Chain A
Amino acid sequence: MASSDLMVGLEIGTSKICVVVGEGRPDGTIKILGVGQAPSRGVRKGEIVDFETAMKCVHEAVVDAETKSDVMIRSVYVGVAGAHIQSFNNRGSVSLPEDRDEIDEQDIEDVKINAREVSIPSQNAFLHSIIQHYHVDGQDGVLNPVGMLGERLEADFHIIHGVRTRIQNTIRCVKELPLDVEDVVFTALAAAQVVLTPHQKSLGALVIDIGGGTTDYILYVDGAVKQSGVLGVGGDHITNDISMGLRIPMTRAEKLKVEEGAVTLGNCLPGETVQLKDDSGFAGKEIERETLNTIIHLRLRETFELLKRKLEEEPFINYIGEGIFITGGCSHLKGIDHLAEEVFELPARVAHAQTMSGLTSAFENPQFSAAIGLIKYAQAVQVDRRPTGGIRRIFGKIFSGMR
């Protein structure tokens, strides 16, 4: 197997660090060879706050992945999240020179550069410029203008950017190990690659990746990314709420959330309780199930409502035809899909990575969607880089000055 076919996705999450090793098959599918993970420390809300500790954890996860997949990991695709990540849509345009009227590759590059000529905060850097559509002389919805005749080429891009130093922190954390960073990818974008099929993207879908520290979202309409972003609220907040509301230690609250937590209200019998076993340093406790669920419900409802308001700033949410896909660790909470359905008034479901082979248990877990998505992303990019692969560009990816 050629080493270039080996792809590794590394997601530094708030609750766990996850390394997925995959192998690209000639037929375009991906086989997962192994998944390494380690509990994450030194990460809050998707961002590294304790560099040394986080690095140790990343190392642990990488070693775990190496053992499990029996390969040597040299370079990785790193997922980034964090509330600093923002996005917007912008249109770039170029006019073709007088003596030429056939659009070529260079014009595409030019229009992309043009689209990025907008002011983002000076400390920010571009993460992704994702092409939505091209317009040639006012003709809308052109997918691939190369070879077309025209005088004026315009292109709509979805641009994702974040605070440069924070992204660099993530990169440095990996490079210290030392591993090469092939690319840095916004986690929701990665997750969407495996959660959604191209068909679902074109019908319009919203992916919500609720992880430990952040809730990342990405909205597709007509097969193109229209909106994306991060909300700095995640599973840790739920745990924190439970811990404070029920006055139990964090570790207990986390366990309680994972094992007993549900989102739906009014589903338990009055007075139904959950018994917490006593442990050293913790006297046992009886907790009313409805209370627990109320705390979780309120937090998630609020999160969804915030998200909805954020999305409603632009019209695209009205064009979602396929529905909402919830993924990430928190999607394990029972009834979360019903709550999303209720809030967004759109069909919602819990989704995990699809169209893979190999370790089934790994990709059927929504926790790993983003990490597996990194591999899928890697594959798409690699195919793109091959000179012979005449596949339409999906990701306009420029990453200057960051590596």
Chain B
Amino acid sequence: MIQLSRNYSLPEREEEIIPIKVIGIGGAGSNALDRMVLDGLDKGDLIAANTDMQSLASSVAASKVQLGRGVTRGLGTGGDPELGLDAATEAGDELRTACGEARLIFLCTGLGGGTGSGAAPVVAELARETGALVITFATMPFAFEGKRRAAQAQEALLELQKISSAVICFENDLMGDIVAPKAGIHQAFAAADATISQSVRSIISLIQRPGLIRIGFDDLLAALRNSNSRCLFGYGESDSDNRPHDALTQALKNPLMDRGRMLSDATSVLVQVAGGPGMTLSEVEILMQELNRHISDDTQILFGTVVDGRMGNRLSVTIISSLAADGAVVSKPAFERPAAAPVPSPQAGPEAKRSPAPELESQPAVEADTAPEAESSPSPDAPGKFVPEAESAEPPPLVRPLQMIEATLNPPELADEIPSEETDSIGDIAEVPEPATMPQIVEQVREPEPQQPRVILPRKKTTPLKEPKPAENSVAKQEVLQFESVTRGRFEKSEPTIVEGQDLDVPTFLRKNVRVK
């Protein structure tokens, strides 16, 4: 959802401090935590939760929760998810205390083993009960770890998807591609951890940084709304001369991005461009233009941009998206399910299907988090600020007009719009199953995309066919051209290319005497 703030002259907004906790469950989880500490994640409290006492002791996380004091007695679960589940249930109170008043909880876990697969859903459940938004980072086992583990992981993943607000799933098999073939196995695992750490950090800064065009939870959830999905995540940073290009290339190279290929199938893509004060509009434009080549025309782009002094000369781009498992489903049952189950809030009725923002309000967990009017909010000062526009101010102005468009202008408006976009997008837009998403897409395409039709759109919308003036302009220009002697431009000094008696370096339209107007 795009929001342009008008207060450019105001001093930079303070960074909003949201209580964030990162919980690492099981061995893989605490490895990821360790990595985050190394990477200097300072914005959230890190909590390691594990059954294995030895591993827990070696963790560098600030607080630690031992799971299953009585069940496993400080040993691991031996790959049994049942045991993991019991262990986590036993440590329920401790975990609840650990979650505290956090409003955003990241769970990091490696699925397939006992603790990860068994305990993670329990922890997620507990975290949700505290009213926080839960984003789970799950690592799927390598294929060579066997089918049993894969099945356990899959089961746990489904469970987590039901509970968490969003699940970002990393496949270890894909991680193999980022490390050089010669690299040792520890490097492969380290790369996996680094990717998770990077994702957590970038998501935190994504929603915490005060942006010129800011991105809130709603956008994040919109980007991740396909349940049972593949998460596409890419982060790139560059300070080279061609930093927009380099950053984007790097982001698209991320293994979770599947090298940019699957991006074309995504329904919505969240993009945040962050840079120092030196970041120029054209850089953002170039970057978005380039990105647009990877995504289809009817993809909704949730675009945000941030100017952060600490970025210095660097420019970073974060791309988050998700794909439905079959690549076609546009709905978002993951969030509707928990929303419908606990409190079918009355206001969710008409709007729940619309955008992710109102949907959030209908979720008890998120309500506490984000909606400013939420009385139950545990820490009222910070939350009031947190995502104020994105959540509360935005839905009314944006959603309502959209629905009006949908109701009134839908067929004619679309018919007018589409030819002006890429012609081949007609079919795609027509295929979008639910009409509810249509105006949104149109709106999106119209506004933020720096793709080619953007420039001409406003004019066309109003007066599509009459445009005599520029034509006249170019007529005048063309007269000048006629007087020009035959010239070869940049090839003036190079060896002429003469084929069939014609100097091919001279523009074709000059040689053929075609009037270019």
Contacts and interface: CB of A to CB of B under 8 A. Distances in A.
What range describes how many residues of B lie at the interface? 35 or more
Contacts of B508: 241, 295, 298-299, 301-302
Interface residues of A, number: 50
Residue among B464, B467, B512 facing the most chain A CB atoms (10 A cut-off): B467
B466 A267 contact: no
Given A288-B517, A298-B509, A274 B497 contact: no
B403 interface: no
B490 A240 contact: yes
Contacts of B455: 273-275
A69 B452 CA distance: 34
Contact of B516 (A1, A294, A302): A294
Interface stretch (A51-59, A94-102, A179-187, A244-252): A244-252
B248 to A, nearest CB: 11
B180 interface: yes
Contacts of A232: 497, 499, 504
B184 interface: no
A300 B237 CA distance: 38
Nearest to B491: A240
B181 interface: yes
A273 B512 contact: no
A164 interface: no
A45 interface: yes
Nearest to B463: A271
Residue among B252, B253, B420, B516 facing the most chain A CB atoms (10 A cut-off): B516
A45 B494 contact: yes
Contacts of A260: 452
A241 B491 CA distance: 11
Nearest to A302: B508
B499 A272 contact: no
A159 interface: no
A360 B261 contact: yes
B452 A271 contact: no
Contacts of B494: 44-45, 49
A324 B490 CA distance: 30
Given A271-B468, A272-B460, A244 B489 contact: yes
B478 to A, nearest CB: 9
Contacts of A246: 516
Contacts of A45: 491, 494-495, 497
A25 to B, nearest CB: 11
B500 A359 contact: no
Interface stretch (B340-348, B365-373, B469-477): B469-477
B282 to A, nearest CB: 7
Contacts of A302: 504, 508, 512
A273 B497 CA distance: 33
Interface in A199-248: 231-233, 236-237, 240-241, 243-247
A250 B468 CA distance: 27
Contacts of B481: 245
B513 to A, nearest CB: 11
A286 B474 CA distance: 9
Interface in B480-502: 481, 487-491, 494-495, 497, 499-500
A122 interface: no
B252 A361 contact: yes
Given A240-B491, A302-B508, A360-B261, A269 B470 contact: no
Contacts of B452: 259-260, 274
Nearest to B494: A44
B505 A240 contact: yes
Interface in A300-324: 301-302, 306, 309
Contacts of B10: none
A270 B467 contact: yes
12 contacts: A1-B181, A236-B490, A240-B489, A240-B491, A240-B507, A244-B489, A259-B289, A271-B471, A288-B474, A291-B517, A306-B504, A360-B261
Given A231-B504, A289-B456, A295-B508, 17 more contacts: A70-B180, A70-B182, A240-B488, A240-B505, A244-B487, A269-B420, A269-B464, A273-B459, A273-B467, A288-B471, A288-B517, A291-B474, A299-B508, A302-B508, A306-B499, A309-B500, A361-B253
